[in-house]
């Protein structure tokens, strides 16, 4: 009966929407990239633990354009890295051939309902080297510091935030341009003898159709984009934070969609390692206030983390204390199993005073900078403390979402 079929379709759609809302209530760092002159503005709007989360990015390369139906709040055009002559930008790379400089990703998918086979484990991994982490010379906080030398807040913000290394985000689906953009960061870091931290953030349906929907149009296009990303890694040491929220915020997907995403993440890990064997690739483990360690480990295992990663990352854009995150990461790694060399990296950018009370998420008062970025943690199985979220960029309450807000930065630097 047509009426019955229609009602069933409506009921299924309602159940799926409810499932997405429930999953997103636990999300800590899902974002929407909307573009800016000196950085990527990224935000989440919604309920419970949602936060507008700024995403550090570069002003010269790369700067993503606005997503469809999300115009940039800035009237000044962003500077785009020139596209290499050998590459031609196109709306979708799903049908293009892989670059000859990188291996073609494997596209074979298992039948729905069948477990994703995991390839043989990689050789035991070692933590990142002892070289200092790379600070990219372009960011919103650096722009402010250069323009406000006489501001009384200048010394503290400069010394405690601007002078620290932070991650560089690649949040735009920009085939034809991303290779050069990544290379501009990795080559500068190699020249300086430092380790860059890169964040590819273009997985399709990257917050399950919510406020930060965007990224590649489909997983085949994403496979090509991550291949282009990998082609810019060079041969030096590099840390890759692969797709925040892509695993922890996957419950809202159907079983088939989740399986396909996990297979794509496994391919991404293999592609990144094949392009640069010295790359350290970390998979999404959420944070200590989200999923139980066993559940998160099972999802990581399904995504091939034992064979295709160097470990996990936690606490991106969140406030949980370092000790809690380290203990949680070790529980996840123990449940995951796999090579003994798998480690964890923790985002310590704003967790100096721990999480706020009552589930506050938008520029909560009383927060503080956490431990300075370093690859020398002294903690078993913790490879690095990183500033993945750039402190001082507002969640949307103390300033416009994603913009550097000096009062907020000053409060974080003072710990009040």
Give the residue numbers marked as catalytic. 207, 245, 395
Going by C-alpha positions, the residue among 279, 270, 229, 268 that lies closest to residue 246 is 268
Tell me whether the omega of the peptide bond preceding residue 62 falls within 30 degrees of 0, making it cis.
Answer: yes
Whole-number Å distance between alpha carbons of 93 and 115: 27
Residue partners of 51: CB distance under 8 A and separation at least 6: 28, 29, 44, 317, 361, 362, 395
Residue partners of 237: CB distance under 8 A and separation at least 6: 128, 129, 131, 195, 278, 279, 280
Residue partners of 195: CB distance under 8 A and separation at least 6: 128, 129, 131, 132, 133, 134, 189, 236, 237, 238, 239, 375
- Vertex 71 angle, CA 69 and 75, to 5°: 165
Q: How many CA atoms lie within 13 A of 311 on its CB side?
A: 28
Q: Which two tokens stand for residue 54?
A: 């700024």
Residue 118 CB-density burial (10 A; 0-12 exposed, 13-18 middle, 19+ buried): middle
Helices 293-302 and 322-336 pack at an angle, to 10 degrees, of 50
């Amino acid at each position: 009966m047509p009426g019955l079929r229609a009602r069933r379709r409506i009921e299924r759609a309602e159940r799926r929407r409810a499932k997405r809302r429930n999953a997103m209530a636990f999300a800590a760092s899902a974002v929407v990239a909307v573009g800016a002159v000196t950085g990527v503005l990224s935000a989440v709007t919604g309920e419970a633990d949602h936060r507008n989360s700024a995403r550090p990015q570069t002003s010269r390369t790369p700067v993503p354009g606005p997503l469809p139906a999300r115009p940039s709040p800035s009237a000044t055009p962003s500077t785009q890295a020139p596209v290499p002559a050998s590459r031609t930008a196109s709306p979708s790379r799903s049908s293009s051939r892989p670059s000859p400089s990188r291996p073609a990703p494997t596209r074979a998918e298992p039948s729905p309902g069948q477990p994703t086979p995991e390839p043989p484990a990689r050789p035991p991994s070692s933590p990142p080297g002892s070289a200092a982490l790379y600070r990219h010379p372009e960011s919103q906080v650096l722009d402010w510091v250069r323009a406000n030398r006489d501001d009384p807040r200048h010394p503290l913000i400069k010394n405690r935030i601007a002078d620290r290394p932070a991650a560089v985000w690649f949040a735009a689906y920009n085939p034809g341009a991303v290779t050069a953009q990544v290379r501009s960061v990795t080559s500068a870091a190699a020249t300086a003898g430092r380790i860059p931290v890169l964040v590819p953030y273009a997985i399709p349906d990257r917050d399950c159709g919510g406020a930060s929907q965007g990224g590649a149009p489909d997983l085949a296009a994403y496979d090509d984009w991550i291949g282009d990303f990998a082609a810019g890694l060079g041969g030096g040491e590099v840390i890759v934070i692969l797709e925040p929220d892509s695993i922890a915020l996957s419950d809202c997907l159907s079983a088939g969609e989740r399986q396909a995403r996990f297979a794509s993440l496994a391919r991404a890990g293999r592609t990144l390692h094949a392009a640069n064997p010295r790359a350290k690739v970390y998979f999404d483990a959420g944070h200590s206030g989200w999923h139980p360690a066993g559940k998160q480990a099972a999802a990581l295992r399904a995504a091939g983390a034992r064979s295709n990663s160097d470990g996990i990352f936690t606490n991106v854009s969140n406030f949980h204390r370092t000790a809690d995150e380290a203990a949680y990461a070790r529980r996840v790694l123990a449940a995951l199993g796999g090579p003994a060399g798998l480690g964890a990296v923790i985002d310590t950018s704003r967790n100096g005073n721990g999480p706020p009370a009552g589930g506050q998420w938008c520029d909560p008062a009383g927060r503080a900078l956490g431990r300075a970025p370093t690859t020398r943690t002294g903690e078993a199985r913790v490879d690095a403390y990183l500033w993945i979220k750039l402190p001082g960029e507002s969640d949307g309450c103390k300033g416009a979402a994603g913009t550097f807000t000096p009062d907020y930065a000053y409060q974080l630097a003072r710990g009040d």
